[in-house]
Amino acid sequence: MNYKKIVIVLALVLFPLAVSFAAAVGFTLDGGAFNSVPEPRLRYPITETAILTGSDPLEFKWWNDLVGIRGFTLKIYKGYNMYAANLVHKEDLPPDASSAKINSDLFEDGQVYTWSLIRVSGAGYKSDRSFNSFKIIKQP
């Protein structure tokens, strides 16, 4: 057998085996059993109080540090408990969002609110929620 025939036979036998092996161990985070979406990192408000001046909206901010996501879900609850009965605002936001402005009329002076943010992956998987509670202080 000459050298060319050996190379051709090896290529015809080994190449399909290598391809099938690679396909068997490959996976993506968008599909399959291992799907972990990191929770978003909140920027503001993350202190004990949020000060509203006049009719200026309250701007909620977070780091948008991942690509390939479908978007975010922002929820605001009255009080510390994140129960459906306490939900006062829910908004689905686009993947490029890193903030959302909420009308100041939603908030009462001296009341505590809790906001939560969930990141949604391109495949529809949801992260754990990040959340923080704060007290509203309205100034004229």
Given a contact cutoff of 8 angstroms between Cβ atoms, the answer to whether 89 and 102 are in contact is yes
| CATH number reported for the structural domain that contains residue 118 in this entry | 2.60.40.10
3: in domain: no
Residue 108 inside a domain? The answer is: yes
CA distances from 47 to 38, 70, 75, 136 (A): 22, 28, 18, 11
Whole-prediction pTM value? 0.73
Instruction: Give the residue from 62, 75, 56, 61 showing the smallest Cα distance to 136.
Output: 56
Instruction: Say if 5 falls within a structural domain.
Output: no
Tell me how far apart the alpha carbons of residues 26 and 51 are, in angstroms, rounded to a whole number.
50
Report if residue 34 sits inside a domain.
no
Taking only the tens of pLDDT, the chain with its 140 residues reads 576 666 565 556 655 655 454 444 333 444 443 458 899 999 999 999 999 998 999 999 999 988 889 999 999 999 999 999 999 999 999 999 999 999 999 999 999 999 999 999 988 999 999 999 999 999 98
Output the pLDDT for position 116. Answer: 98
- Examine residue 19 and state whether it is found in any structural domain, yes or no: no
**Total tally of structural domains belonging to the chain:** 1
What is residue 95's predicted lDDT score, i.e. its pLDDT?
Answer: 95
**Does 8 map to a domain?**
no
82 contact partners, CB below 8 Å, separation of at least 6: 75, 114, 116, 129, 131
Please report the pLDDT score of residue 138 as a whole number: 94
Q: Is 74 part of a structural domain of the chain?
A: yes
Classify residue 113 by burial, with Cβ atoms within 10 Å: 0-12, 13-18, 19+.
buried
Q: Does some domain include residue 82?
A: yes
Q: Is the dihedral of CA 58, 62, 64, 68 positive or negative?
A: negative
User: Vertex 64, ends 102 and 39: CA angle to 5°?
Assistant: 90
What is the span of the domain harbouring residue 86?
A: 41-139
Instruction: Please give the pLDDT value at position 22.
Output: 44
